[in-house]
Structure 1
């Protein structure tokens, strides 16, 4: 099962060319795709609906979109109002059905002078060959640790509480003819993959908050029901790799729940990609592992 995370910078490539089909081509081989900085109806990107363009060029993938910036962009055409929203957010695409989806706004710092935008965490429960898996696409604040740590706390709360909340609907209904239970109760599994542009490096406090700190003489501490860094699980050193040509470190990450740790077979950074200012990160999970995922 091949997964990829890519901050697409609304389709603006490293060469200064705006090209959404190129983005789609760079990730087309993936089974699950987590994208960040996907916009709809912005002048900078030609007023196109990027979700429509990307899905058109990835016709074998189901998709969901989470709008975090959502602003007025309607216009009048004669006597008719054309309803349109100027949006910016995250997207998840999958070769397998997306059984349910939710989008969670993350804490926003209201700065007086520096650009600060609403960020969010997009959830998709996907019916994979491994069984149902929760996949998240996230983009955290670019400003500093102080603005990201509250976002991480909220993100971890969402991820931790989801199985206890149950699926998109749960618990049945007293009136089976009501239409509320037209399909089986959707799952909300423990198995989790979190991907995105998180804007922090492994030596920052946000990384410790995500998976656990370090202890003198023992090294990295991880929780048996927490998240693990797929890069490390794939055999790389924690402080190795770079996901942005100007960062010289990893700021785009993939974290997996402990029940998926044994399935991480490989992780790589495609530093030849030209579709954005970031590089896509690829994670392969083995389907032939005997360990249960839940």
Structure 2
């Protein structure tokens, strides 16, 4: 099973051109992915650099026929003309998708420039059973907000695992119970360096026995430094660094076969990351 995650910066490449088709081509060049997790997808946001204001959620779904498109809108605003402006994450899967959950992450008081953030989860059916695939994009400007958001992610994972230990009663209609699992993959742009204590908090054990979320790069490469995933080609914001990660639960870490950071593409200011799991 191949999963690619990428902060696409609404398709804005280093050349200043917004091109979603190019982004999909580059992702496919990295791998024949089963699941694509995206951050910074926009709809009706012509105020963003190079953005036409198109509904990118719909455009990406059209670019990947045969994939189930799952929207994760974190920011939903009026545009003053009767429409909504939307911004957030997306999961596209060619594996069957069951339950979808959207967790609004904690948004506490902070004087920095910040906005609502979301954890998007889709349970996909693999040959080995259900797997929860999650993607997120944490706050850039505030360490305190990132701390709160990490706790929100941990709680979402913990409660998902608890629901597999104590299954709820099945029922008709809205009470139907669909397959789930403690096994999960967490992807995204975490806006933290690998050594950040808040990033390390993601992988700390759970008191109730839920499987820990392990950094996939560290699981395979131990102490070898993470490859840079941001500011490789545009160093306006920073020197090159890694802030895009993939985590896998402890119970499936032994099935992790490969993780790769594509440092060649210039279709975004971030680099895509691929993991391969033997499922």
Q: Is the 8 A contact 2:162 2:210 kept in 1?
A: no
Partner of 1:218: none
Q: Which of 144, 147, 151 matches 2:145?
A: 147
Structure whose alpha-carbon radius of gyration is higher: 1
Distance across 2 between alignment mates of 1:71 and 1:251: 27
User: What does 1:146-165 align with in structure 2 at a 5 Å threshold?
Assistant: 146-165=144-163
TM-score scaled by length of structure 2 = 0.87
Distance across 1 between alignment mates of 2:270 and 2:121: 22
Q: Which of 204, 218, 223 matches 2:196?
A: 204
Partner of 2:4: 4
Extract unaligned runs of 5+ from structure 2: 233-237
User: What does 1:1-294 align with in structure 2 at a 5 Å threshold?
Assistant: 1-28=1-28, 29-43=32-46, 44=48, 45-73=51-79, 75=81, 84-112=83-111, 114-165=112-163, 170-173=168-171, 179-180=173-174, 185-212=177-204, 225-235=211-221, 237-244=223-230, 245=232, 246-287=238-279
Q: Is the 8 A contact 1:69 1:89 kept in 2?
A: yes
Partner of 1:291: none
Distance across 1 between alignment mates of 2:86 and 2:210: 38
Distance across 1 between alignment mates of 2:38 and 2:140: 16
Displacement of 1:247 in angstroms is 4.6
Distance across 2 between alignment mates of 1:185 and 1:111: 38
TM-score scaled by length of structure 1 = 0.83
Question: What is the RMSD computed on CA atoms of the aligned residues?
Answer: 2.2
